[in-house]
Amino acid sequence: MDIKNNILETIGHTPLIRLNRITRDLPCPVLAKVDYFNPGNSIKDRMALKMIEVAEQDGKLRPGGTIIECTSGNTGMGLALAACVKGYKCIFTTTDKQSKEKMDILKAVGAEVIVCPTNVEPADPRSYYSVAARLAREIPNSFHCNQYDNPANRLAHYETTGPEIWDQTDGKITHLVCTAGTGGTVTGVAMFLKEKNPAIQIWAIDVYGSLLTKYFRTGEIDMSEVHPYISEGFGEDFVPENYDMSVIDHFEQVTDKDGAVMARRIAKEEGLFCGYSAGSCLQGLMQLKNKLKKEDLAVCIFHDHGSRYVAKIYNDQWMMERGFLDVKTFKDIVNARTVKKLLTVTPQHTVSEAVELMKKYDVEHIPVMDGTELTGALSEGGLFQKIFGNPDLKNASVQSAMEPPYPLVDFDTPVERLGSLITRENGAVLAKDEKGDYHIVTKYDVIHSLAK
């Protein structure tokens, strides 16, 4: 019988999968080391278990102890799984830019999660690094894993991920592509592969807003390079001790948008539902494709599963709000909004009541509805002209001041078509969604969508 004694024995030995569609124009094969097949759905399971095992061996983690770590989510999941099996408690600090799914998953496996601000210096007492360190000092029988500076991080990948990739490619790998965060994965795998074949190229993928790329190129820690970014799981505002830059051959930076869009492409075109870093990893390779030759064999490490990003990169509204997806139709404009309920008035409302609604909700156009029937429209410009000529109109009914109803279009009408339907006399258009609810698009909405 082939039976695992516990969930930790399923960590590692993840598949190497050929990419076919996205990379079809590249001169060489591209393979993905898909580490979301680990039980915690990420590559971090490997180093999480290793850090605990080494801490146990060194006497730093004792029975009934508390594991403390600052994590973007994935390391916490690996640590939490190990804690479940081994009987430890967990307290994790994370940043407010991490997806809600990650935090909820950590809580589901018994961890306590403390959310800290993102946009503070690492040494700030509010940062998730500092809070974790403080808790480790204050809580008896606790162990701060400190994945950034803990050598067990890269040791895990030197002992497992690197050898797996070498064996799975029969030693034919020529390029390793990996996002760079704590430094454990890229350095550990690189150390092993370089021992086997010093000619193997190690390409580290970074994000704009991280200081790692400039540090690699100049040796200078330049805090002016640091600015907020949306990408999750890689990039840093300091240089973790796990890095050995001598085993890395090149750093390549990828934008937040390009990484997110590529992750969605990987899901749709390759059938691999991966996280943000996988998209950035493959995007980085695509930016460097001119450096590849026919005889090469490139391996990209896909760190984690897309389920952690359902409310972010796999959410159309989230993507469009950040300008990451092109707005193409009436439906796209509506989906990009945070508030979707249509504001309307009845023919029996007074003009002054309608004006108050316009001011309260900062809108220029309001459809007039009698029950479920569109009977007219009110516009700020039209009311201004009428009230200017007749101040008493404000006490009259909307019916006496309304304009013709806005044109009704299909929910999937292209943005370019909407532009021709919205005129000086007609400042908006309406459409019904799949549920039969009305939505409005104005001239401003069209201009805003085309300007992104």
Q: Which residues does the annotation mark as catalytic? A: 44
- Of the candidates 258, 218, 260, 254, which has an alpha carbon nearest to the alpha carbon of residue 239? 218
AA identity, residue 90:
C
The single residue listed with the structure tokens 């894993």 is 145
CA–CA separation, 161 and 157 (whole Å): 5
CA–CA separation, 300 and 40 (whole Å): 20
Reported as half-sphere exposure (CB side, CA atoms, 13 A), residue 351 has a value of: 21
Residue 149 CB neighbour total at 10 angstroms: 13
Question: How far apart, in Å, are the Cα atoms of 393 and each of 359, 380, 381, 383?
Answer: 17, 14, 15, 9
Convert the chain into a string of H (helix), E (strand) and C (coil): CCCCCCHHHHCCCCCEEECCCCCCCCCCCEEEEEHHHCCCCECHHHHHHHHHHHHHHCCCCCCCCEEEEECCCHHHHHHHHHHHHHCCEEEEEEECCCCHHHHHHHHHCCCEEEEECCCCCCCCCCCHHHHHHHHHHHCCCEEECCCCCCHHHHHHHHHHHHHHHHHHCCCCCCEEEEECCCCHHHHHHHHHHHHHCCCCEEEEEEEECECHHHHHHHCCCCHHHCCCCCCCCCCCCCCCCCCCHHHCCEEEEECHHHHHHHHHHHHHHHCCCECHHHHHHHHHHHHCHHHCCCCCCEEEEECEEHHHHCCCCCCHHHHHHCCCCCCCEHHHHHHCCCCCCCCCECCCCEHHHHHHHHHHHCCCEEEEEECCEEEEEEEHHHHHHHHHHCHHHHHCEHHHCCECCCCEECCCCEHHHHHHHCCCCCCEEEEECCCCCEEEEEHHHHHHHHHC
AA identity, residue 268:
K
